[in-house]
Amino acid sequence: MAHAKMIMQSRSMAMPAVASKPHAMPWFDRQGQPSIFDLFDKAKAPAQIRRSFRFTSAASALPKNQSDLPPDDGRFLSVQVGEDAYFSRPDSLGVADGVGGWAQVKGANPALYSRKIMHYVSAELEKLDDISSIDYDASSYNDVDPKDILEKSYNQVTADAKEEGLVGSSTAVIVILRDDELRVANLGDCGVMVIRHDEPIFRTEEQQHSFNFPFQIGTGSRDSPSDAQSFRVKVQEGDIVIVGSDGMFDNIFDDEIVEIVTRVVGGSAVAGDPKAIAEALMRRAREVAEDTRFATSPFQSRAIQEGLYYQGGKMDDVTVLAGVVRLSEDSPDRR
């Protein structure tokens, strides 16, 4: 974010070598004229206050198959949930969803692919916190673009894939907070919603080639991180940022997401519990997914629009991250 800078221009003034009476020299005539000190006082502009924010966040996630929760061996900065993966930091959140169609291909591992995407995103953002990092200069922290971070992560995973024989692909969404700006990069059908005073003020749109065929990065895909949607949203203290995989957004309509969040926070978003928010949304998504007879869902609505018969929710991995925007008390060394 560019910030206005005031440049003080100092003027040198040549004084005469021969002394004269003060009233003979107009620059000494102060009647009706400002003094040099007055000029400097007027040149001073009030300092702009940079309101810096952070997330107080929590995640709630459930794989469609309970056995798809691998033990955390500490190798990754991301968490795997079935074929979903996510990371969370005080300044950023991200979710990736490994494309399930690879399950029919022997040796494919979309779950590992999505986990690596989120791992390397988190690792790149961690470098920005390190003032001694050789990969970034002093301005990189404030100028960071989530699309660039996704690109770097993708390049790392592509290199790993060649070395390890990794096959798979994934959708991804990243949000980064800088001062009062939320920066978003979204590729595919994960999603982001920002809620303020019980109203949605921002929502990403899905990127689909066709029904149930999202944009994705990975093996055999023509999509790339440069195809990701990019947004910048001004935020305020108390805004609630919801980041989720399609397992949530396919099963809960947007207005119901807002209703659930409003009910959980009870009128005080700043004091809202992100864990309670994330868990309430995850439970509702799973409830709809398991109801194949009476529930209605966004996925069902889209299927009907395509001329397909479909009833109920969509069973899938569900990942929900809830971040409450709060004033930051500490700033990184780069600030």
Structure confidence by residue, pLDDT tens digits, 235-279: 999 999 999 999 999 999 999 999 999 999 987 766 789 999 999
Nearest to 125 by CA among 176, 73, 191: 176
| Percent share of the chain, pLDDT over 90 | 71
| Cα–Cα dist 68/246, whole Å | 17
What is the pLDDT averaged over residues 99-110?
Answer: 91
pLDDT band at 58, cuts 50/70/90? very high
Contacts of 55 (CB under 8 A, 6+ apart): 88, 89, 90, 91, 92, 93, 177, 241, 323, 324, 325, 326
pLDDT in tens, 129-169: 887 777 888 789 999 999 999 999 999 999 999 999 999 99
The CA distance from 29 to 32, in Å, is 8
Q: Which helix (H) or strand (E) holds 171?
A: strand 169-178
> What's the first-to-final CA gap in the chain, in angstroms?
12
Q: Identify the three-state secondary structure at position 38.
A: helix
Q: For residue 177, is it left (φ>0), alpha (ψ between -120 and 50) or beta?
A: beta
pTM: 0.83
Write down the mean pLDDT value for the chain: 86
For tokens 């206050």, the residue is 49
pLDDT surpasses 60 at 117 = yes
- The residue that leads in pLDDT, 19 or 254, is 254
Share of the chain above pLDDT 70, in %: 81
Are 55 and 90 a contacting pair, CB within 8 Å?
yes
Tell me how far apart the alpha carbons of residues 66 and 54 are, in angstroms, rounded to a whole number. Answer: 33
In this structure, is the dihedral angle defined by the CA atoms of residues 279, 280, 281 and 287, taken in order, positive or negative?
positive
